[in-house]
């Protein structure tokens, strides 16, 4: 399987958190990925041959024997489905709906707020654009102040759903990047100890 990813540009560990979600899950599942690394500064995300795979011109994109898939959360589901014995998805309508509830919650609320901070503080300045817009930064922090406590309360077990699931891989890379975006996680002790548990997995710090 090929994973289209970007060259590391900034200071975020492992580069794009959306790509790192996929690499971490593949490592957990023992699935081999062949990385195809593109350079956004050379316009490689907008090349017609890449846009034919992912019309958004974004990463990650997965290619598996002619099957092309984008959106990191969808890719996590697909990879986990290849290793059903690892039980990182959910079984039964209620469990599946709850997994989706948390996945949609993550991609609707905390992740866009973290993305806005990355955009204002790292990406725009890196591309010579004016970043650090005070009102965007303040809105993002307000959203995180609202939604991170929801996750902190949910994390009273070992992992987001109690057992390990794709949710841990969807959430953790952005939260690991949070301190570099001036988001303090110190007040969220369950989030901090859950991240420490994930970091203890043998591959985590290498991916
Ligand atoms: N919702 C998408 C977001 C993908 C995304 O925004 N990727 C960033 C890297 S983290 C990107 O490709 N940015 C380049 C651009 O927007 O032009 C996903 O989860 O896969």
Question: What is residue 15's predicted lDDT score, i.e. its pLDDT?
Answer: 84
Of 50, 68, 66, the closest CA to residue 58 belongs to 50
Neighbours of 66 (CB within 10 A): 5
User: Do residues 72 and 19 lie in contact, with contact meaning Cβ atoms separated by under 8 Å?
Assistant: yes
Ligand 1 neighbourhood includes 71 CB (under 6 angstroms): yes
Question: What is residue 187's predicted lDDT score, i.e. its pLDDT?
Answer: 92
Ligand 1, atom nearest to 57 Cα:
17
Ligand 1 neighbourhood includes 21 CB (under 6 angstroms): no
Question: What is residue 13's predicted lDDT score, i.e. its pLDDT?
Answer: 75
Residue having the nearest C-alpha atom to atom 6 of ligand 1: 58
Return the structure tokens found at 143: 């959203």
Ligand 1, atom nearest to 75 Cα:
20
Ramachandran angles phi, psi of 65, nearest 5° = 55, 45
Q: What is the pLDDT along the chain (207 residues), one digit of tens a residue?
A: 999 999 987 778 778 999 999 999 999 999 999 999 999 999 999 999 999 999 999 999 999 999 999 999 999 999 999 999 999 999 999 999 999 999 999 999 999 999 999 999 999 998 899 999 999 999 999 999 999 999 999 999 999 999 999 999 999 999 999 999 999 999 999 999 999 999 999 999 999
Question: What is residue 60's predicted lDDT score, i.e. its pLDDT?
Answer: 98
Location of structure tokens 């990355």: 118
Question: What is residue 10's predicted lDDT score, i.e. its pLDDT?
Answer: 75
Ligand 1 neighbourhood includes 140 CB (under 6 angstroms): no
């Amino acid at each position: 399987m090929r994973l289209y990813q970007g060259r590391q540009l900034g200071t975020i560990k492992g580069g794009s958190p959306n790509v790192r979600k996929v690499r971490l899950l593949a490592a957990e599942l023992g699935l081999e990925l062949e990385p195809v690394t593109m350079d956004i500064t050379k316009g490689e995300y907008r090349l017609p041959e890449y846009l034919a795979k992912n019309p958004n011109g974004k990463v990650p994109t997965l290619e598996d024997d002619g099957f092309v898939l984008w959106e990191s959360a969808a890719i996590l589901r697909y990879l986990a489905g290849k290793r059903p014995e690892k039980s990182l998805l959910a079984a039964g309508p209620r469990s599946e709906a709850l997994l989706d509830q948390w996945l949609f919650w993550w991609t609707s609320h905390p992740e866009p707020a973290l993305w806005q901070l990355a955009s204002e503080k790292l990406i725009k300045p890196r591309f010579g654009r004016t970043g650090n817009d005070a009102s965007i930064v303040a809105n993002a922090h307000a959203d995180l102040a609202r939604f991170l406590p929801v996750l902190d309360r949910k994390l009273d077990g070992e992992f987001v759903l109690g057992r390990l699931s794709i949710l841990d891989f969807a959430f953790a890379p952005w939260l690991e990047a949070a301190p570099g975006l001036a988001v303090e996680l110190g007040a969220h002790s369950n989030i901090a100890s859950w991240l420490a548990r994930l970091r203890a997995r043998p591959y985590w710090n290498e991916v």
